[in-house]
Structure 1
Amino acid sequence: MANTTVRGALSIHGTNPQFLIEKVIRSRIYELPFWKEHCFTLTAESLIDKAIELNSIGGVYGNQKPTQFKCLLLKLLQIQPEKEILVEYLQAEEFKYLRALVAMYIRMTFRAVEVFQLLEPLPIDFRKLRERSMAGYTLTYMDEFVYALLTEERICDTILPRITKRGVLEETEGLRPREGHQLLGEVDSVVF
């Protein structure tokens, strides 16, 4: 079935990975023609083609209609691609919406240390991203999106799982201290 998590999928944060998307939104996604026509049989490899076609990020718009970005995020949660595949997708600089999608997936599903190790290098990406929301389209940038993933509780109408603060991870998990504050100016009080 297209609406079930792949057999043998690991539990994420103690739950079925799909449950990281709220039930109401998940139900609306399952009813969308885009989901039924384009996401039904997607695999880790074929998902790339759909992600490349994206023209915006976002959660819901209009009358609480989920965006294609949110649909593909749910599909990623269903199929649970291998970590190596996701890292390769993240490295694909030419496809900014694929990179944004994978960054969001990594933030939602990976351990806190891995999230910081994989996403912190991305703020050197200053490309523009269109964000679709209830208010219409707005403009944001990849570095702002990644910063929000690391600091905010809710992105693209999705409640993100709690993440351990960077300072705590440096002390307990051996995460290397950040080198400088390239994008954050000289603000030392900012803690991821």
Structure 2
Amino acid sequence: MANRTVKDAKNVHGTNPQYLVEKIIRSRIYDSKYWKEQCFALTAELLVDKAMELRYIGGVYGGNIKPTPFLCLILKMLQIQPEKDIIVEFIKNEEFKYVRALGAFYLRLTGIAIDCYKYLEPLYNDNRKLRRQNRQSNFEIVHVDEFIDELLRSDRVCDIILPRIQKRHILEENNELEPKISALDDDLDEEMASDEEYFLEKGATNAKSNSDRVKKRSRSRSYSKERKDRRLDRKKDEARQEEDRERERRERDLRKRERDRRIRHERQEIRERDHRRNYYKAGDRRRP
């Protein structure tokens, strides 16, 4: 009885919300000490206190597949199905980062694609560190924005298979979602604007000094006006070329960072795929 979904709960993605967690992991959670002692008779109001006590995220760990408190609370939320407003407040909570991570994970499990992009993408600006317990019971550091990126891109996070969501560009083409504005675009525009101001000031200073030198030389030498203009144009061209080289260097750096980010994502997907393969092979070997 204690493990049943509440009567007035709605189906999520066409199934019982608790079924979003695989059966073997679900049974491990039901048998865990944290579930029996801390999650018994837990309501949406009391859930907030438990979420504030979280000190790390994670899925299952150890050889006998023990669930983390984070995963236990996720299953409890699927069981009691709190209101959407509560989940949104979890996500907007800036004081407790693990409360934010809990709300983001639950929304990714149960929410529609539009809500996932609407509420999770702003968290890309959160660079705080999270402690995550891996399958080998070791702790590792992951940032909030990295965790959010995994939720939106990966098929499996914290040992839970995530439901598929529509790609962002499809929602944009259907006018269901506004085009994404990256913080990097604003930074790049500001840098380019400041660079332009710098080179304009530098060019003006160089032009003034060159003009003074030309005037002094004109007293002793008979330089033609055409030669003076040619020297000034050459200085301006050099300033523009220097500006172009600086802009190209910044663009190369941005492309390199984006390429490195994609490589990290691809490696993470490979590790997740290998993890799933080893996980199911181990399950097959344990079966009589």
> Given the two structures, how large is their TM-score scaled by the length of structure 1?
0.93
Shift in Å, 1:70: 0.3
Equivalent of residue 165 in structure 1, options 164, 167, 191: 167
- Structure 1 residues 173 and 111: alpha-carbon distance in aligned structure 2, compared to 1, 3 A threshold: farther
Distance in 2 of aligned mates of 1:103 and 1:166: 17
Shift in Å, 1:62: 1.3
Distance in 2 of aligned mates of 1:10 and 1:46: 21
Match of 1:31 in 2: 31
Distance in 1 of aligned mates of 2:114 and 2:3: 30
Check conservation: 2:125, 2:145, Cα contact below 8 A: yes
Distance in 1 of aligned mates of 2:4 and 2:82: 15
Distance in 2 of aligned mates of 1:172 and 1:88: 28
Match of 2:71 in 1: 70
Match of 1:3 in 2: 3
Choose between structure 1 and 2: higher strand proportion. 1
Equivalent of residue 145 in structure 1, options 147, 152, 156: 147
Distance in 1 of aligned mates of 2:55 and 2:104: 16
Secondary structure of the structure 1 residue equivalent to 2:184:
coil
> Given the two structures, how large is their TM-score scaled by the length of structure 2?
0.63
Shift in Å, 1:172: 2.2
- For 1:139, the aligned partner's letter is I
Check conservation: 2:90, 2:102, Cα contact below 8 A: no
- Which deviations, in whole Å up to 9, do the C-alpha atoms of 1:46-89 show, x marking residues without a partner? 11111111111000011210111000000010111111111111
Structure 1 unaligned residues grouped into runs of 5+: none
Structure 2 unaligned residues grouped into runs of 5+: 186-253, 263-288
Shift in Å, 1:120: 0.4
Secondary structure of the structure 2 residue equivalent to 1:182:
helix
- Which deviations, in whole Å up to 9, do the C-alpha atoms of 1:150-181 show, x marking residues without a partner? 00000000100011100011112520000135
Secondary structure of the structure 2 residue equivalent to 1:14:
coil
Q: Identity rate of aligned residues, in percent?
A: 54
Match of 2:245 in 1: none
Distance in 2 of aligned mates of 1:25 and 1:85: 26
Work out whether 1:175 is the aligned partner of 2:153. Answer: no
Which region of structure 1 is more displaced relative to structure 2, 154-163 or 172-181? Answer: 172-181
- For 1:165, the aligned partner's letter is K
Choose between structure 1 and 2: higher helix proportion. 2
Match of 1:41 in 2: 41
- Structure 1 residues 55 and 155: alpha-carbon distance in aligned structure 2, compared to 1, 3 A threshold: same
Shift in Å, 1:7: 1.0
- For 1:54, the aligned partner's letter is L
Aligned residues: 188
Matches within 5 A, 1:9-28: 9-28=9-28
Secondary structure of the structure 2 residue equivalent to 1:9:
coil
User: Which is bigger in relative contact order (C-alpha 8 A, separation at least 6)?
Assistant: 1
Distance in 2 of aligned mates of 1:107 and 1:6: 21
- Structure 1 residues 129 and 15: alpha-carbon distance in aligned structure 2, compared to 1, 3 A threshold: same
RMSD, matched Cα: 1.6
Secondary structure of the structure 2 residue equivalent to 1:139:
strand
Check conservation: 1:6, 1:78, Cα contact below 8 A: yes
The 4+ residue runs of structure 1 with deviation greater than 3 A are: 185-188
